[in-house]
Amino acid sequence: MANNKKLWSWLAGIFLVSFGILGLLGREIYVQAPPVPERVVTTSGQELFTKADIQTGREVWQTLGGMQLGSVWGHGGYVAPDWGADWLHRESTTLLDIWAKRDGAKNFAALSLERQAALKARLQSELRTNKYDAKTGAITVSPDRAAAIDIVGDHYAQLFSSDPKLSGLREQYAIPEKTLSDPKQREQLGAFFFWTSWTSVTQRPGQAISYTNNWPHDPLVGNQPAASLGIWSIASVLFLIIGVGWLTWYQARKGEDEHAVVPASDPFLRVNPTPSMKATTKYFITVVGLFLAQIVLGAVTAHYAVEGQQFYGYNISEIIPYALTRTWHTQLGIFWIATAWLATGLYFAPMLSGHEPKYQKLGVNILWGALLVVVIGSFAGEWFAVQQKLGHLQNFWFGHMGYEYVDLGRFWAILLFAGLMIWLTLVGRALWPALKKPGETRGLIGMVFVSTISIGLFYGAALTWGRHSPLSMIEYFRWWVVHLWVEGFFEVFATAIIALIFAGLGLVRARAANTAVVFSTAVFLTGGILGTLHHLYFSGTTTPVIAWGAMFSALEVVPLALLGVEALHNYRATKAAPWVQTYKWPILFFVGVSFWNLVGAGVLGFAINPPISLYYVQGLNLTPSHGHAALFGVYGLLGIGLMLFCLRTSYRTTAWSDAMLKPAFWALNIGLGAMVFLSLVPQGIYQAYHSVTTGFWYARSPEVIHSPVMETLVWMRVPGDTVFSVGAIILALFMAKLLIGPRVKQAIGQVEPEPAMVPAE
């Protein structure tokens, strides 16, 4: 007990110190964010852009889908270019051609190597020198650069119109025709793209690196990896080795946990589901429905990489363009996984405490309705936004926020936050009696309670920015949601729930499970909180962010080193007693979680996390290979496993089909593996080669994205996607059979009793 209190103290200390450092670095990011100039002018005083143009251009970009259509600072979609990198290279080559023609050459390529070298040096001096005046708020550019800016701006104005000269490029970028009808908005969109380009090449005052730490890689303009990237990458590897070594030593010193005496029968047979527990079934039906919808939209989104405006010959881009299908696909992933976990909390809270609060079922039903309103309402708002049917103010509140994973408009985000507060209240008041009651599981219930509070509150980070907040700060808080809310506290919640399940089944000793959960949470949050910073290396941040992010994102991998042991223990649990076979496939889904945690979060995650690695591959297909393997492989399988546990204890008298769960499990895992390793990883490696040897702009260009190699690798997704889809369909059929199938009198050879509800000890 004393050791457990010590672990809780360590956990509290880690939490406070880590968030203290994260807060101080957030202030650093705010103070050092790239400035948005009041004006961009030439040396002769000609005004090119104003601050209002840049800010309005960002809002125009948001209505187009924002990060779902191309990327900014490397974050977003992968079919269209990274707009800042694309503008930067186009402006550079245009300026070189202007100078070459003045020298009498046809273009820059026609010059001698000596003259080319001289103009490259002039180009780097022109672009990298910081000519922002903090007193006047103006950026001053030369007349030659202004001419290049005008030419590049015209290119984007034509691209986002219906100009037939660029129809082929629009299709390659998956941009629909007549995207923007207002010429002024097209000009303002170009102003925003110019600003993102300016931040990526202009040196910070007094430093030899740009505002984005010399990202993206483009040797033509002198964007090469800074020394700090290599230094902190080496340090992160050393930190990882030290962490793994310490954890291995700790586990060896601790020794094996004392094995529990497995009960002769299933302890959960004593649990009689309450009305509110039964009401969660509709959540799980919703989970499967949203999961199937996500798969359909994923197939359409992937196909847009080949046919940018059509789906097997049918022009669908005018109704549901790429930006919209990708928005809905990514959002659905968050929605159905979160719904599964929220329903698990609502199901287990009364089960753990043996207490059904008054009006609990009503609250569960109201919350389900509220979640549907958020899903349907946000999807409708995003459609109206992308179809250019909302003004910029209306778009901010009801349309498309433009930021990946937090795309829903502010009104819908507030409703979602309110729904989480309702969930927090429902789970908290049902858990409270169990939390007050002394017992071996009290610590585990306390962890569930703390993580429930964190889940409810931390989504509030999505409400912290306004229409014109600095983009660096929006990125900072956006990753609070994506990394801390989704990847952090939901995982703590799930870990505690799983430990309670195994303790409730008598497969592990409650005291040992309690200690293990607090310890693993402490280890996870040690790297997980400050590891958030690895998403921000090139988002207008400074070197300290790279240092902290590199070191602590490496520590995120440390607890994954022993996942093989956890997977083995979970698998052995299925053979602990004959009655445990009742839970075989839910437990095997947890085994799958351990595997994909190691492969998706560990191997593929660490492959891109070190600063020097991410410098070259951020915004390439190695990122979604990690994303798919980690998001579905870990959190998706975890959500399905938790759902199956809830359904297994709730539907005791309904025919349960292990024969259907077996192919569903293997199809989902094999399909995911094929999708990742036959398509996404090879695509990412192919792009990474071009990013290293030529430049990031080229790795994201149509020459690479639509090369025969890349399009072949896109088609290589079909086998994996097909197998994966079959697994999802079987899972849906299993759910249908469970809910509408015939009733049985026996479950695993035991006559079903009619028990009173008792808490799981």
pLDDT in tens, 562-575: 666 676 777 777 77
> What would the mean pLDDT of 229-258 be, rounded to a whole number?
84
Query: Is the pLDDT reported for residue 579 higher than 70?
Result: yes
> What would the mean pLDDT of 646-671 be, rounded to a whole number?
90
Tallying the residues shown for the chain, one arrives at 761
> What would the mean pLDDT of 650-665 be, rounded to a whole number?
88
Residue 753's Cβ-count burial label (10 Å; 0-12, 13-18, 19+) is exposed
Please give the Cα distance from 598 to 566 (Å, whole number). Answer: 11
Between vectors from CA 8 to CA 3 and to CA 14, what angle results, nearest 5°? 125
Query: Is the pLDDT reported for residue 533 higher than 50?
Result: yes
Mean pLDDT of the chain: 90
- Please report, as a single letter, which amino acid is at residue 335: F
Q: Name the residue among 335, 323, 459, 345 with its Cα closest to residue 402.
A: 323
Tell me what pLDDT residue 310 has.
Answer: 84
Instruction: Band the pLDDT of 232: cuts 50, 70, 90.
Output: very high
Please give the Cα distance from 96 to 98 (Å, whole number). Answer: 5
Task: Write out pLDDT tens, residues 91-114.
Answer: 999 999 999 999 899 999 999 999
> What would the mean pLDDT of 321-338 be, rounded to a whole number?
94
Instruction: Band the pLDDT of 280: cuts 50, 70, 90.
Output: very high
Query: Is the pLDDT reported for residue 345 higher than 70?
Result: yes
> What would the mean pLDDT of 369-377 be, rounded to a whole number?
96
Please state the pTM of the whole predicted model: 0.92
> What would the mean pLDDT of 436-460 be, rounded to a whole number?
84
What one-character-per-residue DSSP string does 196-250 give? Answer: HHHHHHSBPTTSSSBTTTTPSPBGGGTB---HHHHHHHHHHHHHHHHHHHHHHHH
Tell me what pLDDT residue 46 has.
Answer: 94
Query: Is the pLDDT reported for residue 748 higher than 50?
Result: no
Tell me what pLDDT residue 275 has.
Answer: 94
Query: Is the pLDDT reported for residue 753 higher than 60?
Result: no
Tell me what pLDDT residue 270 has.
Answer: 74
Contact 289, 543 (CB under 8 A): no
Which residue in this structure is represented by tokens 């669908």?
316
Q: Are strands 39-42 and 138-141 parallel, antiparallel or unpaired?
A: parallel
Tell me what pLDDT residue 756 has.
Answer: 39
Contact 229, 546 (CB under 8 A): yes
What percent of the chain clears pLDDT 70, i.e. is strictly above it? 95
Q: Rounded to the nearest 10 degrees, what angle do helices 410-436 and 360-386 cross at?
A: 160
Tell me what pLDDT residue 568 has.
Answer: 72
**Dihedral through CA 555, CA 556, CA 560, CA 566, nearest 10?**
110
Tell me what pLDDT residue 581 has.
Answer: 85
Query: Is the pLDDT reported for residue 520 higher than 70?
Result: yes
Residue 3's Cβ-count burial label (10 Å; 0-12, 13-18, 19+) is exposed
Q: Name the residue among 404, 407, 413, 409 with its Cα closest to residue 392.
A: 409
Tell me what pLDDT residue 274 has.
Answer: 92
Q: Sign of the C-alpha dihedral, residues 295, 300, 306, 312?
A: positive
Look at residue 311 and give its three-state secondary structure.
strand
